[in-house]
Chain A
Amino acid sequence: MYMIETKNLTKKYGSFTAVNNINLHIQKGRIYGFLVPNGAGKSTTMKMLLGIAQPTAGSFHIGKKSYPGDRMEILKEIGSFIEAPAFYGSLSGEENLDILRSILGLPKQSVADVLELTGLAPYQKRAAKKYSLGMKQRLGLAGALLGMPPILILDEPTNGLDPAGIHEIRTLIRSLPQTYNCTILVSSHLLSEIELLADDIGILNRGRLLFEGTASQLKEKAHAAGFPTDSLEDTFLALIDADNKKRGGIKR
């Protein structure tokens, strides 16, 4: 039983296919790293999982719930951070999280917990618009972690953080499945980041899923196909390049 499973999930905008028949299999309690070049359909996929974008075809289920019937129930179980930190600039970090807490129906203590966890506690009274980029990123992450949901969808969570912040957040994300038994879908352009974070990897290019499995399975596949396997970066680039040559042009 997978925590997140998609079946031929497809999203088309007119004649343009952003996501083409992808079948994701994300196991419970594991970190799934999404490796995707820019504009390959990562955000669209994540938005479909959150029900923000409606799939053109295909279906998915999260836990025992399926979309679209259980959309509201699904959203109660997912903490997400998509594209960029989203908040109310005029409110303080604490007030922002309190609004999310009220909607999710969580106890008041949960706000203090995530502020502490993300290192925002000393700045909780400051207006969010006055936060630095790294602090805004932490606020977005705090919003996703609020109430420790069983599923986390994190789109580039370390964007804008300094090296120490990246290490801190990476350690935090890494620890979540053990501590809270949650399942995480995380994307990053930083291949080293995914290498250090993820248990499983999914590679998406131009709307299609090219690979899904563990890092060692990826190495085996790349080795068999004659691609370099010295680093994840080399393997990823070779895989994408081969797929681009095979499919030619830019039309999906």
Chain B
Amino acid sequence: MIVLLEAKKLRHTGYFPAFLGGTALAAAIPPIHMSVRSDTFTAQPGDPFRILTDANWQLMTMLNLFLVICCTCMMYYTEFADNGAQKMETLPVTESRLFCAKLLLFLSCIAVMLLLETIVLALCGKYWFADYEMRLSALLKTCGFSFAAALPTVILMLLFASVCKNMWVSLGIGVLFMFTCSMFPKDSLFFSLCPFNSPYLTFAELADAETQRRFLSACAAESVLFLAVKLLMIKLRRCFS
């Protein structure tokens, strides 16, 4: 119920159209890319889905990350702009519960976004590659992996947005992180684990099940750590306010 309330708060703010617009923009990349350079990709050997993700995922992720940064900032801007957050503090609902509700709402939007983008990639494979066989389980695995890889970034960005009352500060921090992390080497698993860098990694890029398990465990640990930091900050803030 509290998640629905959070969704209600975002009405008339442009949050949902922004999310849909951003998703549409990122999802438009593979068909546009294929329509202008299809010969380059269809001539390549290997799994068509892998070829498509290798060709498009970097740019799509960059747009996704930018969307995450903007939408988390919008989410908390509505709280701080007219002191809505202050009113919430005087109601019988904890700040941690509100944060978790926001996170759940945001994650459901992210899940829809990733699902749509994966479907578009698969449809491109079906349309341009004659030998591509669409398998639902493989698509869901890819989508689920991308979701898990995005989790630490989303939580960290939501944490920044919740801490900075001035939206431009959290926006600046997010953009700075996004561009700094994009310069990290892509072939190192250690650097791939950094928030803002982990979403660039695809399921197919991780060779074996053990590496995949390690990567997902690390993402889960990061997510728990950032959540714990947020909860600790809520406790400490009340002592100093």
Which residues from chain A sit less than 8 Å from chain B, CB to CB? 13, 47, 50-54, 72-73, 75-76, 78, 80, 82-91, 95, 98-100, 102-104, 127-129, 143
Alpha-carbon gap, A176 to B12, bound state (A): 35
> Are B84 and A86 in contact, with the CB atoms below 8 A?
yes
Given contacts A82-B86, A102-B1, 17 further A-B contacts (CB under 8 A): A53-B238, A53-B241, A54-B238, A54-B241, A72-B92, A72-B94, A85-B82, A86-B84, A87-B84, A89-B78, A90-B11, A90-B13, A90-B78, A91-B8, A91-B11, A99-B5, A103-B2
Interface centre among A72, A85, A86, A98 (most CB of B within 10 A): A86
> Are B92 and A103 in contact, with the CB atoms below 8 A?
yes
Which A residues lie within 8 Å of B9 (CB)? 88, 91, 99
What's the A-B contact tally at a CB cutoff of 8 Å? 77
Contact of A54 among B5, B12, B89, B239 (CB under 8 A): B239
> Are A100 and B11 in contact, with the CB atoms below 8 A?
no
* Closest A residue to B238 using CB positions: A54
> Are B83 and A84 in contact, with the CB atoms below 8 A?
yes
Which B residues lie within 8 Å of A143 (CB)? 87
Asked whether A86 and B83 contact (CB < 8 A) given A91-B11, A99-B9, the answer is: yes
> Are B90 and A85 in contact, with the CB atoms below 8 A?
no
User: Would you mind naming 25 contact pairs between A and B with Cβ atoms under 8 Å apart?
Assistant: A47-B241, A52-B89, A53-B238, A75-B91, A75-B92, A76-B92, A82-B90, A86-B82, A86-B85, A87-B82, A88-B9, A88-B78, A88-B79, A90-B12, A91-B9, A91-B11, A91-B12, A95-B8, A99-B8, A100-B91, A103-B2, A103-B5, A103-B88, A104-B91, A127-B12
Which A residues lie within 8 Å of B93 (CB)? 103
> Are A80 and B83 in contact, with the CB atoms below 8 A?
no
Which B residues lie within 8 Å of A89 (CB)? 78, 81-82
Instruction: List which B67-87 residues lie within 8 A (CB) of chain A.
Output: 78-79, 81-87
Q: Secondary structure at chain A's binding surface: helix, strand, loop or mixed? A: mixed
Query: How far, in Å, is B187 (CB) from chain A's closest CB?
Result: 45
Instruction: List which B1-36 residues lie within 8 A (CB) of chain A.
Output: 1-2, 5, 8-9, 11-13
Asked whether A95 and B241 contact (CB < 8 A) given A75-B91, A86-B82, A87-B87, the answer is: no
Alpha-carbon gap, A50 to B88, bound state (A): 11
Asked whether A80 and B78 contact (CB < 8 A) given A85-B83, A91-B9, A95-B8, the answer is: no
> Are B90 and A78 in contact, with the CB atoms below 8 A?
yes
Query: How far, in Å, is B235 (CB) from chain A's closest CB?
Result: 9
Query: How far, in Å, is A199 (CB) from chain B's closest CB?
Result: 24
- What are the 3 closest A-B residue pairs judged by CB atoms, nearest first? A86-B83, A86-B87, A89-B82
Which B residues lie within 8 Å of A104 (CB)? 91-92
> Are A80 and B82 in contact, with the CB atoms below 8 A?
no
Asked whether A129 and B82 contact (CB < 8 A) given A76-B92, A102-B1, the answer is: yes
> Are A80 and B90 in contact, with the CB atoms below 8 A?
yes
Alpha-carbon gap, A53 to B92, bound state (A): 15
> Are A52 and B238 in contact, with the CB atoms below 8 A?
yes
Which B residues lie within 8 Å of A91 (CB)? 8-9, 11-12
Which A residues lie within 8 Å of B88 (CB)? 103
Alpha-carbon gap, A121 to B191, bound state (A): 57
